[in-house]
Amino acid sequence: MSVHSEIKRVTTHILQEMKNRGEKISCLTAYDFSMGRIVDAAGVDLILVGDSASNVMAGHETTLPITLDQMIYHASSVVKAVKRALVVVDIPFGSYQGDSTEALRSAIRIMKESGAHAVKMEGGSEIKESVVRVLSAGIPVMGHLGLTPQSIYKFGTYSVRAKEDVEAQKLIEDALMLQECGAFGLVLEKIPSTLTKKVSESLKIPTVGIGAGPDADGQILVVHDMLGINKEFKPRFLRRYADLDSIMHDAIANYVKDVKGKDFPNEKESY
Ligand code: KIV
């Protein structure tokens, strides 16, 4: 039976119920219509239109260059394909950190122009005003703490965050602050498992981990990484579920061979 034959849309409340009953939340990224359709039909609960589109789709080294217009383009393509999952969209770098009015304007554009269900913002106390302002407009907000790629030039490396007590303590305080403000969930990226456990047990709202160990309330991966489309990226936390790079390479090489050998198209494939 297809997941879509009895579609009940995933909402932020349903994610909360999943945490309450101990059901893990499955999350993946998607950036276009075709991938959004496949990811949704396979039963993923939350689809993130991540600003990792900057790396994966546009080939940039970091997530910083992607624009609000580009995020809206990706998000509206995904939304059209999704029948069940909650679609969350990253507000990109430079569209919310400056002041809360700009944050609200960016979040409203994402919601209005893409049809997405929620936005995600990176950071803690530094962006509190923006988080509160966006929430005040009735837009669900997901937080993101730990390794926050929009701050990569501040960190200087993509290594594990919050190993030291001071940073871990700030992360716990930021997590509680985001919950207090009304965030519906929280991404925890690349932090020690023990800290993820502590944060997830302290919060009522669900946490979603990436490189954060087994104790988050859900897990997220970048879909191109877990499908093996992007083979160069091999962090320890990544489990590869397919080798699509090789499958696609071989299929395309076979096509080239058939065209060159005048084997494609044959009579049946012609009018
Ligand atoms: O942009 C993204 O894909 C993300 C996930 C890695 C959580 O923020």
Q: Probe ligand 1: pick from 25, 57, 62, 90, max atoms within 8 Å of CB?
A: 90
What's the pLDDT tens digit per position in 61-82? 999 999 999 999 999 999 999 9
In this predicted structure, the answer to whether residue 201 has a pLDDT above a threshold of 60 is: yes
Residues 89/119, Cβ–Cβ less than 8 Å: yes
Beta-bridge mates of residue 122? 144
Ligand 1, atom 1, residue with closest C-alpha = 50
In this predicted structure, the answer to whether residue 5 has a pLDDT above a threshold of 70 is: no
- Indicate the pTM of the whole model: 0.96
In this prediction, residues 56-62 reach a mean pLDDT of: 97
In this prediction, residues 191-208 reach a mean pLDDT of: 98
222 lines ligand 1 (CB under 6 A): yes
210 lines ligand 1 (CB under 6 A): yes
Residues 119/140, Cβ–Cβ less than 8 Å: yes
146: closest CA among 127, 163, 129? 163
226 lines ligand 1 (CB under 6 A): no
| Measured distance CA(30)–CA(40) in Å, rounded | 9
For residue 4, the model assigns a pLDDT of 53
- CATH number attached to the domain at 3-240: 3.20.20.60
Which two tokens mark 157?
């490396």
For residue 54, the model assigns a pLDDT of 98
140 lines ligand 1 (CB under 6 A): no
Task: Please report, rounded to a whole number, the percentage of residues in the chain having pLDDT higher than 70.
Answer: 98
What's the pLDDT tens digit per position in 120-169? 999 999 999 999 999 999 999 999 999 999 999 999 999 999 999 999 99
- Supply the residues annotated as catalytic: 189
